[in-house]
Chains A and B, each alone.
Chain A
Amino acid sequence: MAEAPRPALPNLSLAERAWRIRRNALRMGEVQGQGYIAQALGIADVLAVAYFHALSYRPHEPEWEGRDRFLLSIGHYAIALYAALIEAGVLPEDELETYGGDDSRLPMSGMAAYTPGMEITGGSLGHGLGIAVGMALGLKRKRSRSFVYTLFSDGELDEGSVWEAAMAAGSHRLDNLIGIVDVNNMQADGPSTQIMNFEPLVPKFEAFGWLVQRVDGNDLEALVTAFDLARHATVTRPRIIICDTRMAKGVPFLEERERNHFLRVEPEEWARALDVLDQGRPA
């Protein structure tokens, strides 16, 4: 690859990784002055566990055949995945300031053709899980031991295609597919459960033939346990980790904002947000 590799930092804790992912995301948010920053802060712990505990990948060889695939179905969460890919050394840190700009490799909505480490083009919601089904079938054909992870959101559960894919994954017994649902209970028009009640989620996915876990998506220890079980369970079922997360986690004054689906943050507030985050830096 053309760009210089980022120095590896092998000994950081998951808490430190999550903090750095949040920091990367806030800095990208500041570039645009707005964006899906609350989702990124909310999902940072899940991404830290995914990229620094669960996934196999080679930072400088993003298309390495032996990698675990991580599919971002929610295109607008790109800011979160860029933050994690920068932390993982897949993307160089200095591209962060190009976020959402002309000729950037980091567009506002994630696209496979733009960004190393971005496996699919998301954004039209309800696509990721179906593509994951096909990739999981393909990996089985190749006798590969890689997993397909796909991150989708509670709002995405409104899309019928998610349930077509959920049924197909169960029917084809795709034990190499690990779904991750971010339940932050916020979508474009308001709280997700009020927009379209998707609960109860656990029995729904169980009924579709999945191995289901529901965890606090901001509890690193619980996430590690859940990812381990998803990877090592022997049942021939697709796995799902339903993650209850808190929007804007780590920056309390943003957590409190009532409508934080698409956050507008005043210029002076970015410095304050970074300060608040830095005060919460893990020891």
Chain B
Amino acid sequence: MRRSKYLRPAHLDAPAGGGARLKTSAMIASIAGPDQRTRAAPFGQALVELGRTRPDVLGITADLGKYTDLHLFAKAYPDRFYQMGMAEQVMISAAAGLAREGFTPFATTYAVFASRRAYDFIFMAIAEENLNVKIVCALPGLTTGYGPSHQATEDLAIFRGMPQLTIIDPCDALEIEQAVPAIAAHQGPVYMRLLRGNVPLVLDEYDYSFELGRARMLRDGSDVLIISSGLMTMRALEAAKLLAADRIDVAVLHVATIKPLDAESIRAACARTGRLVVVAENHSVIGGLGEAVAGELLRGGIHPAGFRQIALPDAFLDAGALPTLHERYGLSTEAVVAQIKSWL
């Protein structure tokens, strides 16, 4: 709950030793924890690699090349990079025009700007025409402490209603690297949520390979089924390890493709009797993966032992330090564990 702007921060007047307070991390900061294995700029690296064999692949941005890791592509192929300034409408329209002329532009900005500001342009100029534009957006969900101006907590809700748009929410560096050539090979528009900077590396432990449109069971378990996307799959895997110590057996189904949804895998996993289904996502409780899964289950006549969502509240979120905010809004591993225990 936000305090009145006319109240001084309480801790300033508290007795000394009130504890250290975290700072708002810069937008260029990584979401990785201090002990996590990471890879640097997986999107930028993968796009440079793809550019070697795909001369049709271009980069285009609205003054956020550096903050979407597209600067690596710009450096490798300066004549294939287009800077459109801080103007998302023309950036998207120009990407549509380039696609019309046979190119495959990767257009980057922040998720808030693509979804809120450029929506009509993506809808009419790109999706309605099924053009080959890949829209890759940093700061999805709650991955910055800058407040609602930068927190794209409802981007999936906005984009899921757009016909012909494929939506990807990758979990880690490995998946981003694999998704880049896969979405380039796909004919049609794609929206990909991007983790940038030093991105955690997790899925290599699970013999994972990304396949567009397919969900993947990363671990099996008999008490709880977590269905998750994006960075929440990383949290789900960590939570599953912790819950195992309490003899709670957790399965994790990773759904990287939000649309079209792998309904078959989701229904099959949820049809197994006796499991609590928990959908975990870095997104508002409204309109994201949770409601998509709920709809599938209802339409399919599938009734799991229970259904819960771990998601951001339908609210304008606080500014502050990211770890604090993940704890406050239930996205941290500890919060995931606590919520699941409370439901059993």
Taking beta carbons and an 8 Å cutoff, which residues of A are in contact with B? 111-113, 119-121, 123-124, 126-127, 129-139, 141-142, 160-161, 164-165, 167-168, 171-172
Contact = CB atoms under 8 A, between A and B. Distances in A.
Contact of B96 (A126, A134, A142, A167): A134
Contact of B124 (A121, A137, A139, A165): A121
Given A120-B125, A168-B85, 19 more contacts: A120-B100, A123-B124, A126-B89, A127-B93, A127-B121, A127-B124, A130-B97, A130-B125, A133-B90, A134-B94, A134-B97, A134-B98, A137-B94, A137-B98, A141-B101, A164-B85, A164-B87, A167-B87, A171-B85
Of B103, B105, B121, B125, which is in contact with the most chain A CB atoms at under 10 Å from its CB? B125
B295 interface: no
Nearest to B82: A137
A122 B131 CA distance: 15
B101 A131 contact: no
Contacts of A136: 97
A150 to B, nearest CB: 10
B101 A161 contact: no
A138 B96 contact: no
A138 B124 contact: no
A124 B101 contact: no
CB-based closest 3 A-B pairs: A134-B97, A130-B93, A138-B101
A137 B99 CA distance: 11
Contact of A130 (B94, B101, B103, B105): B94
A129 to B, nearest CB: 8
B211 interface: no
Contact of A161 (B82, B105, B121): B121
A129 B84 CA distance: 14
Given A136-B97, A137-B97, A168 B103 contact: no
A130 B100 contact: no
A63 B327 CA distance: 55
A164 B117 CA distance: 13
Chain B contact surface mostly:
helix
A121 B129 CA distance: 8
Contacts, number: 97
B94 A168 contact: yes
A111 B102 CA distance: 19
28 contacts: A111-B128, A119-B100, A120-B100, A121-B125, A121-B128, A133-B90, A133-B94, A134-B95, A134-B96, A134-B99, A134-B100, A134-B101, A135-B100, A137-B82, A137-B97, A138-B97, A138-B100, A138-B102, A138-B103, A141-B101, A160-B89, A161-B90, A161-B93, A161-B121, A164-B85, A165-B89, A165-B93, A168-B87
Interface string B203-226: 000000000000000000000000
Of A111, A132, A138, which is in contact with the most chain B CB atoms at under 10 Å from its CB? A138
Contacts of A126: 89
Contacts of B314: none
B334 interface: no
A168 B101 contact: no
Nearest to A166: B90
Contacts of B120: 124, 127
A22 B84 CA distance: 39
Contacts of A138: 97-98, 100-103
Contacts of A172: 82
A135 B98 contact: yes
Nearest to B79: A141
Contacts of B123: 124
A164 B93 CA distance: 10
A164 B101 contact: no
B125 A131 contact: yes
B101 A127 contact: no
A79 to B, nearest CB: 20
Interface in B95-135: 95-103, 105, 120-121, 123-125, 128-129
Contacts of A129: 93
A167 B121 CA distance: 17
Nearest to B55: A141
A139 B94 contact: no
A121 B92 CA distance: 15
A135 B129 contact: no
Contacts of A132: 97
A119 B101 CA distance: 11
A168 B88 CA distance: 11
Contacts of B94: 130-131, 133-134, 137, 165, 168
Interface in B30-70: none
A135 B89 CA distance: 15
A139 B123 CA distance: 24
Contacts of A142: 101-102
A250 to B, nearest CB: 32
B244 to A, nearest CB: 52
Given A121-B124, A137-B82, A161 B89 contact: yes
